[in-house]
Amino acid sequence: MNKKNGEEKVKFSRLALIDAKIRKGEYPNSEELADELEVSQRTILRDIEYLKDIYKAPIAYDFTKRGFYYTEPNFFIRSVMLSKEELETITEYDQFTKFTTFEDDDSAVKFRKIIDKLLMALPEEQTNSLPFSPTPNGKPDFIFGGTIQLDAEINHLISMAIKNKETIEIEYWISDNRKWEKQEIEPLYTFYQRHHYYLLAWKNDKHEKPGIYSINRFRKLNNTGKHFTIPADFKVSDYIKKEADVSPMDNKLYHFELSFPKDIASEAIEKTYYHNQHIKLCEDGTVYVSFRSTQLHEVFHWVLYEGHKVKVINPPELVNMIKREAQRIVQYYK
């Protein structure tokens, strides 16, 4: 959990305790609450104002009893009680929507915020036991179009197998042999790269180096009842580089420069194409965007998806890749 999410969870815990004490008629004051929660009185007073502003809590101060109380006795902070299965369903949905939410999809962005707020309210011991991280540490490094739809049951079984460290039997499509092959694998981690979902897993108890499986090639999946252990020094990051493609790539840092035409300038200037971007509206009406990244192939596929809506200025490697692809396409129509 990152620092911001951790602070929000602690804050919610404070609000819940303050609400409980006021509802019990204990008339707590800022000094008592600050001592109990080990924070400053200023923090408690900010929490009180937050309850008033966000939750519309009818809080008043009784100078005789020297504490806070609700002017409406039946008021309470509403919360939602969820079962273990419901929590796991939410986190599974959260895992996949974080990869398919676009910056300009207002409804999806708002819905993700609701999911994050709901998960933030859960106790730490509950969220730690879920199959996926409740709140993502960040959004995908590059925003692009196109996704692969996965079988919901297979997705659920994979997530539970990862959580329970259970060996699974799969039927996997081997493209070289053009046939389905049964395999027993030990699933470790799911991730998303280049429009596809992948599974990092050990095969047949060979723990030297895990393999990478494309989840959309799974036809069937069954639990085996067998379990495995993960060494304490095992790190996913040793096998999946954060800013690399699924296939081994060099980690050269490229300076990307893109240009968007005048007819979509009003749309382009409002978007975030990359987290460290520099964007400006040029005098000729076009929009210029630049950023630095190692993801040459990710940007290449995104540019192809956008087509005539974007022109690549730099780097030369990407310009040449686009030219070669365009020439191949032209060959089909001669």
Tens-place pLDDT, residues 39-73:
999 999 999 998 888 778 899 999 999 999 998 87
Give the pLDDT of residue 67.
93
Tens-place pLDDT, residues 121-176:
555 444 544 444 333 333 433 443 334 456 678 888 888 888 889 999 999 888 66
Mean pLDDT of the chain: 76
Domain count, the chain: 4
Give the pLDDT of residue 261.
93
Is the pLDDT at 34 greater than 70? The verdict is yes
Burial 208-217 (b: 16+ CB within 10 A, else e): eebeebbbeb
Secondary structure E strands in the chain: 59-62, 67-70, 166-174, 179-193, 196-203, 206-214, 218-227, 254-260, 278-281, 287-293, 311-314
Domain assignment of residue 245, yes or no: no
- Which pLDDT band, with edges at 50, 70 and 90, does 84 fall under? low
What CATH number is given to the structural domain containing 46? 1.10.10.10
* Residues 138 and 156 grouped into a single domain: no
Domain assignment of residue 138, yes or no: yes
* Residues 259 and 212 grouped into a single domain: no
Greatest mean pLDDT among 127-141, 185-199, 305-319 lies in: 305-319
| CA angle (113, 118, 122) in 5-degree steps | 140
